[in-house]
Structure 1
Amino acid sequence: MTSPAAQTRYRVDGMDCAACATKIDTAVRRMPGVEDVNVSVTAGTMTVKHALKSDLAAIEKKVTGLGYTVAQVKGKTEPNARPAQDDAKDDHDHDGHDHADHAHAGHDYAGAAKDDHDEEVEGLHGHDHTPASGPWWNSAKGRLTIASGAALAVAFAVHTIWPATGPWAFIAAMLIGLVPIGRRAVMAALAGIPFSIEMLMTVAAVGAVIIGAGEEAATVVFLFLVGELLEGVAAGKARSSIQALTTLIPKTALIEENGTTREVPAESLSVGATLLVRPGDRVPADGEITEGESAIDESPVSGESVPVRKGVGDKVFAGTINGDAVLRIKVTAAAADNTIARVVKLVEEAQESKAPTERFIDRFSRWYTPGVVVVAGLVAVVPPLAFAGDWNEWIYKGLALLLIGCPCALVISVPAAIAASLSAGAKRGLLMKGGAVLEGLGKITAVALDKTGTLTLGKPQVTDIVSFGRAEADVLRLAAALETGSSHPLAIAILAKAAADKVKVPAASKAQALGGKGVKATVEGAVVFLASPQAANEAVKLSAEQTAEITALNDQGKTVSLVLVDNKIAGAIAMRDEPRPDALAGLKALTDSGIKTVMLTGDNKRTAAAIGKQLGIEVRAELLPEDKQRIIGELKGQGLTVAKVGDGINDAPALAAADIGIAMGGGTDVALETADAAVLHGRVGDIAAMISLSKTTMANIKQNISMALGLKAVFLVTTVLGITGLWPAILADTGATVLVTANAMRLLRWKGGA
Structure 2
Amino acid sequence: MNKDNEQHGTDTTCKDECCSDKPKELKFVKSLNLNNVNKVTSPSKDTCCSTHETSQEVSNETISEATGHKSEFIVNGMDCSSCALTIENHLKMNSAVRHVAVHFASGKMTIEHDNTVDEIIKEVSRAGYKASLVSNRRAREIKKDKSGINSVVLSGVLLLFGFLGSYFDVPLTLINLLYVIAIILGGYKPARSAYYAVKSRSLDMNVLMTAAVIGAAAIGEWFEGTTVVWLFALGNMLQASSIEKTRNSIRSLIDLAPSEAFVKNGQQLARKPVEEIAVGEIIVVKPGDKIPLDGVVISGESSVNQSPITGESIPVDKHIGDPVYAGTINEHGSLEITVTKLVEDTTISKIIHLVEEAQEQKAPTEAFVDKFARIYTPIVFILALAVMAFPPLFSPGTWGEWFYKGLELLVVACPCALVISTPVAIVSAIGNAAKNGVLIKGGAFLEIAGKLSAIAFDKTGTLTEGRPKVTQIIPSGTTQDELLAIAHTLEEYSAHPIAKAVVDYAKEKGHSPREGYNFRNLMGKGVGAIISGQEYFAGNLKLFQELHSPLGELESHIRSLQQEGNTIVIVGTKDNILGVIAVADIVRETSVQALRDLKRVGIHHVVMLTGDNEGTAKKVASLTRVTRYSAELLPENKVTAIKQLQNEGHIVAMVGDGINDAPALATADLGIAMGGVGTDTAMETADIVLMADNLEKLPHTVKLSRKAIQIIKQNIWFSLIIKAAALMLIFPELLTLWIAVISDTGAALIVILNSMRLLKVKK
Q: Confirm or deny that 1:642 pairs with 2:652.
A: yes
1:479-534 deviation digits (Å, cap 9, x = unpaired): 33455576543344234334444x14246454634142444456677765433333
| Counterpart Cα distance in 1 of 2:115 and 2:621 | 57
- 1:598 partner SS: strand
Q: Confirm or deny that 1:17 pairs with 2:26.
A: no
| Counterpart Cα distance in 2 of 1:415 and 1:153 | 36
| Counterpart Cα distance in 2 of 1:274 and 1:515 | 45
Q: Which residue of 1 aligns with 2:174?
A: 165
Identity of aligned residues (%): 38
| Counterpart Cα distance in 2 of 1:406 and 1:453 | 52
- 1:672 partner SS: helix
Between 638-647 and 475-484, the greater mean CA deviation after superposition: 475-484
- 2:368 partner SS: helix
Q: Which residue of 2 aligns with 1:623?
A: 633
Alpha-carbon spacing, 1:408–1:256, altered in 2? closer, same or farther (3 Å): same
RMSD, aligned CA: 3.2
Q: Confirm or deny that 1:174 pairs with 2:183.
A: yes
Within the candidate set 439, 453, 459, 1:431 is matched to 439
Q: Confirm or deny that 1:657 pairs with 2:667.
A: yes
Question: Structure 1 residue 363: deviation in Å?
Answer: 0.6
CA contact (8 A) 2:309 2:436 kept: yes
CA contact (8 A) 1:224 1:734 kept: yes
Q: Confirm or deny that 1:727 pairs with 2:735.
A: no
Q: Which residue of 2 aligns with 1:46?
A: 109
1:176-208 deviation digits (Å, cap 9, x = unpaired): 232332221111111111x22111111111111
1:587-638 deviation digits (Å, cap 9, x = unpaired): 2333452432222222233322332232233222222222222222222222
| Counterpart Cα distance in 2 of 1:282 and 1:358 | 38
Alpha-carbon spacing, 1:692–1:511, altered in 2? closer, same or farther (3 Å): farther
CA contact (8 A) 2:486 2:514 kept: no
Alpha-carbon spacing, 1:196–1:463, altered in 2? closer, same or farther (3 Å): same
| Counterpart Cα distance in 2 of 1:387 and 1:331 | 80
| Counterpart Cα distance in 2 of 1:573 and 1:451 | 23
CA contact (8 A) 2:485 2:514 kept: no
CA contact (8 A) 1:482 1:508 kept: no
Equivalent residue letter for 2:77: G
Between 611-620 and 586-595, the greater mean CA deviation after superposition: 586-595
Alpha-carbon spacing, 1:143–1:497, altered in 2? closer, same or farther (3 Å): farther
Alpha-carbon spacing, 1:694–1:511, altered in 2? closer, same or farther (3 Å): farther
Q: Which residue of 2 aligns with 1:282?
A: 290
| Counterpart Cα distance in 1 of 2:115 and 2:421 | 34
Question: Structure 1 residue 64: deviation in Å?
Answer: 4.4
| Counterpart Cα distance in 2 of 1:523 and 1:156 | 103
CA contact (8 A) 2:263 2:270 kept: yes
Q: Confirm or deny that 1:340 pairs with 2:351.
A: no
Q: Which residue of 1 aligns with 2:685?
A: 674
Q: Confirm or deny that 1:66 pairs with 2:162.
A: no
Question: Structure 1 residue 344: deviation in Å?
Answer: 1.2
Q: Which residue of 2 aligns with 1:512?
A: 519
TM score, norm. by length of structure 1 = 0.83
Within the candidate set 655, 680, 702, 2:713 is matched to 702
Q: Which residue of 2 aligns with 1:548?
A: 556
| Counterpart Cα distance in 2 of 1:298 and 1:57 | 40
Within the candidate set 591, 605, 609, 2:618 is matched to 609
Alpha-carbon spacing, 1:281–1:572, altered in 2? closer, same or farther (3 Å): farther
| Counterpart Cα distance in 2 of 1:563 and 1:272 | 46
Q: Which residue of 2 aligns with 1:83?
A: none
| Counterpart Cα distance in 2 of 1:445 and 1:555 | 32
| Counterpart Cα distance in 1 of 2:128 and 2:508 | 64
TM score, norm. by length of structure 2 = 0.82
Alpha-carbon spacing, 1:147–1:719, altered in 2? closer, same or farther (3 Å): same
Between 352-361 and 678-687, the greater mean CA deviation after superposition: 678-687
CA contact (8 A) 2:609 2:631 kept: yes
| Counterpart Cα distance in 1 of 2:446 and 2:331 | 35
- 1:563 partner SS: strand
Equivalent residue letter for 1:430: V
Q: Confirm or deny that 1:444 pairs with 2:452.
A: yes
| Counterpart Cα distance in 2 of 1:460 and 1:196 | 62
Q: Which residue of 2 aligns with 1:202?
A: 210
Question: Structure 1 residue 461: deviation in Å?
Answer: 1.6
CA contact (8 A) 1:507 1:523 kept: yes
Equivalent residue letter for 1:750: V
Q: Which residue of 1 aligns with 2:13?
A: none
Alignment of 1:471-490 (within 5 A): 471-484=479-492, 487-490=495-498
| Counterpart Cα distance in 2 of 1:642 and 1:596 | 10
| Counterpart Cα distance in 2 of 1:621 and 1:37 | 51
CA contact (8 A) 2:517 2:531 kept: no
1:359-383 deviation digits (Å, cap 9, x = unpaired): 1100110111112223323443444
Alpha-carbon spacing, 1:352–1:65, altered in 2? closer, same or farther (3 Å): same
Question: Structure 1 residue 742: deviation in Å?
Answer: 0.5
| Counterpart Cα distance in 2 of 1:746 and 1:554 | 51
Alignment of 1:154-553 (within 5 A): 155=162, 161-193=170-202, 195-256=203-264, 258=266, 261-290=269-298, 293-311=301-319, 314-484=322-492, 487-501=495-509, 503-506=510-513, 508=515, 510=517, 512-516=519-523, 517-520=525-528, 529-539=537-547, 541-553=549-561
Equivalent residue letter for 2:106: A
| Counterpart Cα distance in 1 of 2:343 and 2:306 | 18
CA contact (8 A) 1:446 1:597 kept: yes
| Counterpart Cα distance in 1 of 2:259 and 2:250 | 18
Question: Structure 1 residue 346: deviation in Å?
Answer: 0.8
- 2:327 partner SS: coil
Q: Which residue of 2 aligns with 1:94?
A: none
Alpha-carbon spacing, 1:458–1:661, altered in 2? closer, same or farther (3 Å): same
The number of aligned residues is 691
| Counterpart Cα distance in 2 of 1:701 and 1:180 | 30
Q: Which residue of 2 aligns with 1:575?
A: 583
- 2:586 partner SS: strand
Q: Which residue of 1 aligns with 2:40?
A: none
| Counterpart Cα distance in 1 of 2:466 and 2:684 | 21
CA contact (8 A) 1:158 1:169 kept: no
Equivalent residue letter for 1:595: H
Unmatched 5+ residue regions in structure 1? 75-114, 128-132
CA contact (8 A) 2:97 2:114 kept: no
Alpha-carbon spacing, 1:668–1:588, altered in 2? closer, same or farther (3 Å): same
1:465-489 deviation digits (Å, cap 9, x = unpaired): 2212333234334433455576543
| Counterpart Cα distance in 2 of 1:35 and 1:734 | 35
CA contact (8 A) 1:185 1:199 kept: yes
CA contact (8 A) 1:38 1:352 kept: no
Alpha-carbon spacing, 1:36–1:737, altered in 2? closer, same or farther (3 Å): same
- 2:549 partner SS: coil
Equivalent residue letter for 2:451: K
Alignment of 1:39-188 (within 5 A): 39-47=102-110, 63-71=124-132, 73=134, 117-118=137-138, 121=139, 127=142, 133-134=143-144, 138-152=145-159, 155=162, 161-188=170-197
Between 19-28 and 206-215, the greater mean CA deviation after superposition: 19-28
| Counterpart Cα distance in 2 of 1:330 and 1:478 | 39
